[in-house]
Amino acid sequence: MSEVIVAARGVEVTLGGVPVLRNAGFTAAAGEIVAVLGENGAGKSTLLRCLAGLHPPLRGRIDVLGGPPVDAAVFWRRVALVGDEPAWYPGLSVQEHLELAGVVHPGGRLTVGAALEVFALDGRADMSPLTLSTGQRQRLSLAMALLRPSRLLLLDEPERGLDTAFRARLAEILTGYADEGGTVVMATHDLTLATATRARLVTLEAAS
């Protein structure tokens, strides 16, 4: 049996007294892709934040890679999170952001050149990320997460801003990551992307 990477049981979260998650839970094994679906406000992003150790649940238990998630460097060396657009380091180009990820995480999955090509950013390598379009910046976020080695990938709406053609390519990239033994948990509204990655679907119901 594959190693369990994520195990969430009976997770309950309230925000400002309003229940956001009620009795949510699932498990994800090594090499598996899990797509968390649900309408707006169902708690998909909140569940991902709980898995990343950024939001403690009111009740329930979460284990990631054999223990509770912690917001510390030792955890983030094994887990990569792509959520809202990050604040880019000023003065660095697209390529230099990728180089930085490669230097800080030696033994990466991709070279910088390959990442630029795979994520269709090679024509924008010398530009500031602020100059890119929304979809290109999302590709850069994904490239930084997928260039480095990790065992778990947490993606919050990875399809945000991406064109249809690149969504198909993203499905291939994520499938390749899972084939190497990595686990992907993604919150998404794109059922086509979830299906293309052969993801196991977990649907959240609105808690209130």
Partner 1 sequence: MNPARAYLRSRRGRPMTWSDRYAMAFGAGLAVVVVGQWAATAVRGLAIGVDAAGLGPVLALAAVSYAGYLAVARALGPVVLPAADAAWLVLSPLPRRSVLGRSAAVLLVLALGGGAALGLAVLSAFGAPDGLILRLAAALVLGAGATVGGMAVAVLAQASHSWDVLLQVVIAGTVLAAVLVAVLGGGAGRQALLAVAGAPAAAAVAAAGPVAAVACALAHRAWTTLDRIPARAILGSSARTGRVASAAVTMDPGALTWAVEDEHWRGRVLGSRPWPRLAGRKALALAWQDWRRIGRRPGRLAVLAGAAVLPAVAAQAAGGMSAMPAGVLLAGTLAAAAMCTTGARRDAADPALARLLAVDRRALAAARALLPALLAAAWSALALAGLAAAGALSGGAWWLLGPATAPACAAASLRMAGRPPVDHSLPVIDTPVGALPAGPLIWAVTGADLALLGCLPALVALTAPASPPGSSLIVQALTAAAVLTAFLLRQGRSGRESAT
Nearer to partner 1, 50 or 194 (CB): 50
128 touches partner 1 (CB under 8 A): yes
Nearer to partner 1, 29 or 88 (CB): 88
117 touches partner 1 (CB under 8 A): no
72 touches partner 1 (CB under 8 A): yes
Contact with partner 1 (CB under 8 A) among 3, 39, 84, 117: 84
Q: How far apart are CA 193 and CA 16, in angstroms?
A: 33
Using alpha carbons, list the distances in angstroms from residue 152 to 14, 18, 31, 42, 132: 26, 30, 9, 23, 27
88 touches partner 1 (CB under 8 A): yes
Nearer to partner 1, 29 or 125 (CB): 125
Q: How far apart are CA 47 and CA 21, in angstroms?
A: 8
The residue count of the chain comes to 208
Q: How far apart are CA 147 and CA 134, in angstroms?
A: 20
101 touches partner 1 (CB under 8 A): yes
Within 25-64, which residues bind partner 1 (CB under 8 A)? 52
Binding residues for partner 1, total number by CB under 8 A? 40
Tokens read off for 131: 């100059």
Per the CB < 8 A criterion, the answer to whether 143 and 105 are in contact is: no
83 touches partner 1 (CB under 8 A): yes
